[in-house]
Amino acid sequence: MNTNDSATQQPLVQIRNLQKRFGDVVVLDGLNLDIEIGNHVAIIGRSGSGKSTLLRLLMTLEKPEAGTICIDGEYLWHQQQNGQLVPASLAHTRRVRGKVGMVFQHFNLFPHMRVLRNVAEAPRLVLGLSRREAEARARELLDRVGLSDKADAWPQELSGGQKQRVAIARAMAMQPQIMLFDEVTSALDPELVGEALQFLRELADEVSMTMLLVTHQMHFAEQIADRVIFIDSGKIVEDDEPAVIFHHPRQQGTREFLNAVLSPADD
């Protein structure tokens, strides 16, 4: 896993005082978070605590009311101008957004494109690869996620687990520096969950990609993550190694949450 020398370099993601409201509902209330390169961070918390919102803010699917998100040294929503932070241009935000990739809870594959094109389309359009290069890379990635035989299938013809792998390949094809996963298993049939988690664990071990995962599966979080974050009331309550969070949580809130979600049989 991660060694201590990564602490000396600048974090890949720096979130400062992030605020997000929907109407009167304050979802994130001055959240701070640093993510180092190569971290596999699991986010846990009650339903409605703002886990998805945090990912969506990182993916620029939502805009924060206040605070900053800095990815690889560049602000997502701001630009530096004469030493001041000013609202970013669309082009700037778009460039920084390219460092982030996301695998959606419901995968959101393009139903009118075959699997290969689902993966190859954006690299061609956005990264400017030729059709040939883009498709070659897409085939490589499909091979890596074990779906080389499905390149010509329509998304509708795949199982939930296969769709998820295509979604992962599609996001990886853009070569992001950090990948976001929202509830990787909640849209899968129960019998597919174990396989999907196994696959993600292998992927996480295999690639050194920085990952931020929201999950309700505590065992999965414990196995895949090198860091677990518990969110409550729009703030990070506890942030530590899985062994600490799951076995010796320091905060009362974390203990209560874990007691509620972990049935005795799981313990």
Partner 1 sequence: MQLQWDWSIAMEVLPHLIRGLWVTLLATAGGMTLALALGLMVTMARRARFRLVSWPVGAAIEFVRCTPLLIQLFFVYYLIPDFGWNTPLVTGILVLGIHYSAYTSEVYRAGIDNVPRGQWEAARALNLNRQQTWTRVIIPQAVPPIVPAMGNYLVAMFKDTPLLYAITVQEMLTRATNFSSRVFSTVEAYTLAGVLFLILSLLAAGLIHRAERQLVVRET
Binding site for partner 1 (CB under 8 A): 59-61, 94, 97-98, 100-102, 104, 106, 108-112, 121-122, 125-126, 156, 170-171, 174
Question: Closest by alpha carbon to 36, among 55, 13, 18?
Answer: 13
- Name the residue whose CB lies closest to Mg ion: 52
> Cα–Cα distance between 47 and 210 in angstroms, integer?
24
Which listed option, ligand ATP, Mg ion, partner 1, none, makes contact with residue 47 (CB within 5 to 8 Å by class)? ligand ATP
Query: In the bound complex, what is the minimum distance in angstroms from residue 31's beta carbon to ligand ATP?
Result: 12
Helix (H, G, I), strand (E, B) or coil at 69: strand
Bridge partners (DSSP) of residue 78 are: 87
Nearer to ligand ATP, 49 or 118 (CB): 49
Closest listed residue to residue 217, CA positions, set 236, 238, 190, 240: 190
Residue 174 interacts, among Mg ion, ligand ATP, partner 1, none and using kind-specific CB cut-offs from 5 to 8 Å, with partner 1
Check if the beta carbon of residue 133 is closer than 8 Å to that of residue 122. no
Q: Which residues contact 209 (CB under 8 A, 6 or more apart)?
A: 38, 172, 176, 177, 178, 179
Residue 185 C-beta: closest distance to ligand ATP, Å: 12
Nearer to ligand ATP, 57 or 147 (CB): 57
Q: What are phi and psi of 112, to 5 degrees?
A: -95, 10
Interface segment toward Mg ion; rule CB under 5 A; list 50-58, 96-104, 150-158, 250-258: 50-58
Q: Total residues contacting ligand ATP (rule CB under 6 A)?
A: 11
User: 204: which strand partners?
Assistant: none
**Of the two residues 25 and 126, which places its CB atom closer to partner 1 in the complex?**
126
**Residues 32-71 as x/- pattern, contact with ligand ATP by CB under 6 A:** -------------x-xxxxxxx------------------
Helix (DSSP H) and strand (DSSP E) numbers for the chain:
9, 12
d(CA 143, CA 73): 33
- If one asks whether residue 52 binds Mg ion (CB under 5 A), the answer comes out as yes
Cβ–Cβ under 8 Å, residues 2 and 36 = yes
Buried b (16+ CB within 10 A) or exposed e, 142-178: bebbebeebbeeebeebebbbbbbbbbbbbbbbebeb
The answer to the question of residue 185 lying near Mg ion (CB under 5 A) is no
Residue 102 binds which one of partner 1, ligand ATP, Mg ion, none, with CB within 5 to 8 A depending on kind? partner 1
Which of Mg ion, partner 1, ligand ATP, none sits in contact with 70, Cβ below 5 to 8 A by type? none
Nearest approach, Cβ of residue 25 and ligand ATP (Å): 5
Nearer to Mg ion (CB atom), residue 135 or residue 182: 182
Kindly list the residues in this chain that would bind ligand ATP in the complex (CB under 6 A).
22, 25, 27, 45, 47-53
Kindly list the residues in this chain that would bind Mg ion in the complex (CB under 5 A).
52
